[in-house]
Amino acid sequence: MSTENKKIVENIESLLVNGATTEHCVSVEADSVIKVWVKELTFMEMQEAVKQFVSMSTTGEVDIDMAKYWKYIFIKCIEKTEPEMSKTQMLALKTSAAVKIASLLPQPQDLVLDPLVDGMGE
């Protein structure tokens, strides 16, 4: 991709994760919601997430542990909830509620594929 006619970024702050959270309402029962505040991960935090769930043995065998991934992501990305839940309670949610919250969070395939695909365009 050519850089001709492109300007240099003037404010580096626009490229940084600012620590702000996004509020989401998640329907958990027919007439009830919980609020979940989700923060954006930095690139390095995303790479750390990969280390949490992918391991390779000395023989080259790859092991993927999705439970470790979701535990890391729930703890790292969810800043707070209403009603307030401890980290232990968040990790003990029923599948129906956890799946809805997980849909708001970075997905495992995004962590592995996005940096590779994005880097190929340069």
- pLDDT tens-place string over residues 47-81: 888 888 888 889 989 888 999 999 999 999 999 99
pLDDT given for residue 14 in this prediction: 85
- The pTM of the whole model exceeds 0.85: no
pLDDT given for residue 46 in this prediction: 87
3-class DSSP state of 73: helix
pLDDT given for residue 108 in this prediction: 86
Give dist(CA 39, CA 122) in Å, integer: 28
- pLDDT tens-place string over residues 79-109: 999 999 999 999 999 999 999 999 999 998 8
Task: Compute φ and ψ for 79, nearest 5 degrees.
Answer: -80, -45
pLDDT given for residue 47 in this prediction: 86
Nearest alpha-carbon partner for 49 in 73, 67, 78: 73
Question: For all residues of the chain together, what is the average pLDDT?
Answer: 87
Nearest alpha-carbon partner for 48 in 5, 15, 77: 77
- pLDDT tens-place string over residues 26-55: 999 889 999 999 999 988 888 888 888 888
Q: What strands lie across the sheet with 32-39, from one edge to the other?
A: 21-29, 32-39, 78-82
Above 80 in pLDDT, residue 2?
no
3-class DSSP state of 8: coil
